[in-house]
């Protein structure tokens, strides 16, 4: 559905180059390395987006968790491309945008390895009882204990996209057994071996020592980890969430942690972020909480800007854009990767 372009605002001189509005969380936090691109950027924060977006053909959401686009949609009639500097696009998509012919792209690929490393770190920390070790050190207490092996442990990775696959590859590299959970069941996957249908998650959850959430937030995945799934897990299993907090029923998770349905959780994401200081998750037993930072390694913003710059070059040249999101699915679709007879991806 095409919308009528709105008149441009804010530019006294027309350079003839396409205008791109850039939404920043703070006025001082602009992306670096975009100066040589043949576009005119209008930088703004949420309160100035309605003006900045008028007449703009492109929109860069550097403030990637903002929901401000919905509020200024009537002013964005000239926009034909929106890029989100994040892997998840759940905070952007709304019905009018889904129904439009505006192309949405995201930052798929930037965070894959860092998030996989975070997950491996969480697995090792749990297996080696690091929380207990830190507590003992703070108390200056020497206590010998036995810990678990990582080799041979089992992980069920929910989400078979790029991030989920990188997690699977890294966990397999240290000797873990891995399965995936996706929209449809299949065998012979190059990274997961077996992929279980998401509708069968509760039946599969009892197999794993680690349940890793790496799926996009959609209507199908919202609340996916509920009481049925958590009760089906082993009492010594560990939940790791690097996706979105809303994939998990948090009140039920609190009950599961307090009552010993599972042994603990590592949560990089929560339903409400920042997590309020009085939230009971902070004090739940055997929980490690980080501030939605699993993919944010040194230099990540420059990598995001370089990826966007390449897409701008493609956009100006009329070439296919990278990481085009299926707005109905809510993520960048990819075909399943199956193993050939020799064991490599086809």
Which residue numbers are catalytic?
Answer: 244, 273, 292
Query: Is the CA virtual torsion 260, 268, 133, 138 positive or negative?
Result: negative
Angle at 117 between CA 112 and CA 118, to 5 degrees: 100
From the CB of residue 215, how many other CB atoms can be counted at a distance below 10 Å?
Answer: 26
What six digits make up the tokens of 47? 């309160």
Pairing between β-strand 58-61 and β-strand 81-84 as defined by DSSP bridges: parallel
What six digits make up the tokens of 199? 């509708």
- How many angstroms separate the CA atoms of 173 and 150, rounded? 11
Map tokens 């792209």 to a residue: 105
* Phi and psi, residue 72, nearest 5°: -110, 15
The SS3 assignment for 3 reads: coil
Pairing between β-strand 186-189 and β-strand 193-197 as defined by DSSP bridges: antiparallel
CB 206 within 8 Å of CB 233: yes
Reference 336, options 113, 179, 184, 156; nearest CA is 184
- For 329, left (φ over 0), alpha (ψ -120 to 50), or beta? alpha
Angle at 210 between CA 344 and CA 281, to 5 degrees: 140
SS (H, E, C) 111-178: CHHHHHHHHHHHHHHHHCCHHHHHHHHHCCCCCCCCCCCCCCCEEEEECCCHHHHHHHHHHHHCCCEE
Alpha-helical segments (H) within the chain: 49-52, 68-71, 95-99, 112-127, 130-138, 162-173, 201-204, 227-232, 250-259, 300-317
């Amino acid at each position: 559905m095409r919308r009528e372009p709105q008149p441009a605002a804010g530019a006294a001189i027309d350079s003839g180059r396409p205008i791109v509005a850039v939404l920043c969380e703070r006025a001082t936090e602009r992306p670096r390395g975009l100066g040589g691109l043949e576009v005119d950027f209008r930088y703004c924060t949420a309160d100035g987006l309605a003006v900045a977006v008028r007449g703009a053909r492109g929109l860069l959401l550097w403030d990637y968790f903002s929901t401000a686009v919905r509020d200024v949609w009537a002013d964005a009639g000239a926009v034909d491309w929106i890029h989100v500097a994040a892997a998840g696009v759940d905070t952007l998509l709304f019905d009018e945008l889904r129904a439009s012919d505006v192309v949405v792209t995201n930052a798929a690929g930037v965070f894959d390895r860092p998030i996989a490393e975070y997950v491996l770190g969480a697995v090792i920390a749990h297996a080696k009882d690091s929380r207990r070790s830190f507590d003992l050190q703070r108390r200056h207490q020497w206590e010998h204990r036995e810990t678990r092996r990582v080799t041979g442990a089992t992980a069920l990775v929910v989400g078979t996209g790029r991030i989920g696959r990188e997690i699977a590859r890294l966990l397999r590299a240290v000797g873990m057994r891995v399965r995936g959970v996706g929209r449809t069941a299949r065998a012979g996957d190059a990274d997961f071996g077996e992929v279980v249908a998401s509708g069968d998650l509760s039946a599969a959850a009892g197999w794993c020592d680690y349940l890793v959430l790496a799926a996009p937030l959609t209507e199908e995945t919202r609340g996916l980890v509920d009481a049925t799934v958590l009760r089906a897990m082993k009492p010594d299993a560990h939940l790791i969430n690097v996706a979105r907090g809303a994939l998990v029923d948090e009140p039920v998770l609190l009950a599961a942690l307090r009552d010993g349905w599972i042994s603990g959780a590592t949560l990089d994401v929560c339903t409400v972020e920042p997590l309020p200081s009085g939230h009971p998750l902070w004090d739940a037993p055997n929980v490690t909480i980080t501030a939605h930072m699993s993919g944010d390694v040194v230099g990540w913003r420059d990598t995001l800007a370089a990826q966007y710059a390449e897409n701008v070059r493609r956009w100006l040249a009329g070439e296919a854009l990278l990481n085009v999101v299926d707005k109905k699915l809510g993520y960048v679709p990819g075909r399943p990767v199956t193993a050939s007879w020799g064991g490599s991806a086809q």
